[in-house]
C-alpha cells in the first residue's frame, strides 16, 4: 500500500509567524529516505511554499518547522492549504485542504521585507515525483488496506448484473421460441446471480464496518441492492408456486424481463440523483484518479473479467445439471 499522510496538527497557521506542524504518516519509510524528503504547503494547486526544516522522529512521524511568508496568497484573509511530502522512493503524499491559513494580526511592512525571501512561489509542472520507484496500490484515507476488497466486492456485482442481463435474453428467447431449455437457462442464470449478489452484500457489509463504522447504513445504494435481491427472491418463490411447466416458464420469463427493467433505475439511476457514500453516486466519482490509479486498475479489471467468466461458467454448469434432471423426469 502506497504511503500517505494520515493527519497533521495544529490545523490553523498564521501568515508571517513561526510554526511547528506535526505530521502522522501511514506505511512510510522515512528513516531510509530522509535525505531525499521535501515538504511543501500548497495553495489551490497554483502556489507553494517549501518548508525550511524537517525533523523526522520515526518511520511515520515528523515535524515541519519554519516561518510562513507574511503576505497571504492572493491577498486573502483566510484560505486552506494542502500538505505535500515528496521523495524519490515513495513518490508524492498529499493531505488536501487540511490546514487553515489566517492572516497574521501583526503583519507590518518591515516584517514583509524581512521575510520576502520566504514567499509563495508559482507551482511548476514536474516538481513532484507522482510516480514512486516502488509498485504500490494507491493510498486512500479511511480505506487503507481494505481497498483490496475492490477486487472482490465490485466484480461480484458486475457478475450478478451480467447474469441477470443474460437471463433476460434467455427469457425473451423462450417467449419467442417456446423451448423449455431457454426457461431452464434463464432460471439457472438468475439463481447463480443471486448467489453472487449475496456475496456482494456480504463483502460490502464487511467493508462498511471497517470504513464507515457500521455493518449497514442508510446509504441508498445499499438499500436498492438489498431490494434487488428481494425482487429476485420473489422470482424463485413465483416459480415454486406455479405447478405447470409451460405456465411457470411463461410467467417467470415475463417476470425476469420486467424485474431487470425495474432494477436498473433503482441501482444505477436513483443513487446518482441523491447523496451516497458509494463512488459514482451523489457526486462521488468512481474509477477516476480520486479512487483508482493504474496500479489498482492492473488488478481490478482482470478481476472483473475473471469473476464474470467464473459466474457464467458456474451458471452453465447449473443449467446442464437442471437439464439432466428434466430429462430424467421425462423418462420416468
Residue 30 CB coordination number (10 Å): 22
In angstroms, rounded to a whole number, what is the distance separating the alpha carbons of residues 111 and 123?
A: 24
What is the pLDDT at residue 21? 92
- Residue by residue, DSSP assigns 226-260 as HHHHHHHHHHHHHHHH---HHHHHHHHHHHHHHHH
Quote the DSSP letter at residue 79.
E
Instruction: Classify the phi-psi angles of 49: left when phi > 0, otherwise alpha if psi is within -120 to 50, otherwise beta.
Output: beta
Looking at the DSSP bridge assignments, the partners of residue 18 are: 67
Report domain extents, the chain. Answer: 4-122, 145-331
The CATH number of the domain covering residues in 4-122: 2.60.40.10
pLDDT < 50 regions, the chain: 107, 110-117, 283-285, 287, 290
Q: Over the stretch 65-120, which tens digit does the pLDDT of each residue have?
A: 988 888 888 877 888 999 998 887 777 888 888 899 988 765 455 444 444 446 78
What is the pLDDT at residue 172? 96
Tell me which long-range contacts 278-281 makes (C-beta under 8 A, separation of at least 24): 278/219, 278/221, 278/222, 281/220, 281/221
Kindly give the pairing relationship between strand 38-43 and strand 12-14: unpaired
In angstroms, rounded to a whole number, what is the distance separating the alpha carbons of residues 31 and 319?
A: 59
What is the pLDDT at residue 130? 64
Q: Determine the 3-state secondary structure of 38 from DSSP.
A: strand
In angstroms, rounded to a whole number, what is the distance separating the alpha carbons of residues 40 and 49?
A: 6
Q: What are the grid coordinates assigned to 238, written together? A: 413465483
C-beta of residue 46 within 8 angstroms of C-beta of residue 121: no
Amino acid at each position: 500500500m502506497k504511503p500517505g499522510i494520515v493527519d497533521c496538527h495544529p490545523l490553523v497557521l498564521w501568515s508571517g509567524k513561526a510554526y511547528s506542524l506535526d505530521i502522522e504518516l501511514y506505511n512510510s519509510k522515512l528513516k531510509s529516505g530522509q535525505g531525499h524528503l521535501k515538504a511543501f504547503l500548497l495553495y489551490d494547486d497554483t502556489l507553494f511554499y517549501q518548508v525550511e526544516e524537517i525533523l523526522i522522529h520515526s518511520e511515520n512521524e515528523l515535524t515541519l518547522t519554519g516561518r510562513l511568508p507574511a503576505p497571504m496568497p492572493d491577498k486573502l484573509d483566510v484560505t486552506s492549504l494542502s500538505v505535500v511530502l515528496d521523495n524519490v522512493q515513495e513518490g508524492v503524499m498529499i493531505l488536501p485542504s487540511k490546514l487553515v491559513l489566517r492572516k497574521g494580526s501583526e503583519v507590518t511592512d518591515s516584517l514583509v521585507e524581512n521575510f520576502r525571501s520566504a514567499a509563495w512561489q508559482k507551482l511548476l509542472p514536474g516538481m513532484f515525483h507522482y510516480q514512486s520507484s516502488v509498485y504500490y496500490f494507491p493510498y486512500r484515507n479511511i480505506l487503507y488496506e481494505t481497498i483490496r476488497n475492490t477486487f472482490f466486492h465490485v466484480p461480484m456485482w458486475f457478475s450478478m448484473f451480467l447474469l441477470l442481463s443474460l437471463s433476460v435474453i434467455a427469457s425473451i428467447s423462450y417467449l419467442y421460441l417456446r423451448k423449455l431449455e431457454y426457461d431452464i437457462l434463464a432460471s439457472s442464470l438468475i439463481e447463480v446471480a443471486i448467489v453472487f449478489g449475496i456475496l456482494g452484500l456480504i463483502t460490502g457489509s464487511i467493508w462498511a464496518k471497517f470504513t464507515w463504522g457500521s455493518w449497514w447504513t442508510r446509504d441508498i445504494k445499499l438499500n436498492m441492492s438489498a431490494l434487488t435481491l428481494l425482487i429476485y427472491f420473489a422470482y424463485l418463490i413465483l416459480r415454486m408456486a406455479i405447478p405447470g411447466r409451460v405456465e411457470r416458464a411463461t410467467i417467470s420469463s415475463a417476470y425476469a424481463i420486467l424485474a431487470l427493467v425495474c432494477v436498473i433505475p433503482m441501482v444505477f439511476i436513483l443513487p446518482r440523483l441523491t447523496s451516497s457514500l458509494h463512488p459514482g453516486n451523489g457526486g462521488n466519482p468512481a474509477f477516476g484518479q480520486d479512487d483508482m490509479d493504474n496500479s489498482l486498475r492492473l488488478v481490478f479489471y482482470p478481476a472483473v473479467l475473471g469473476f464474470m467468466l467464473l459466474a457464467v461458467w458456474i451458471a452453465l454448469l447449473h443449467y446442464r445439471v437442471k437439464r439432466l434432471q428434466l430429462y430424467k423426469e421425462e423418462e420416468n
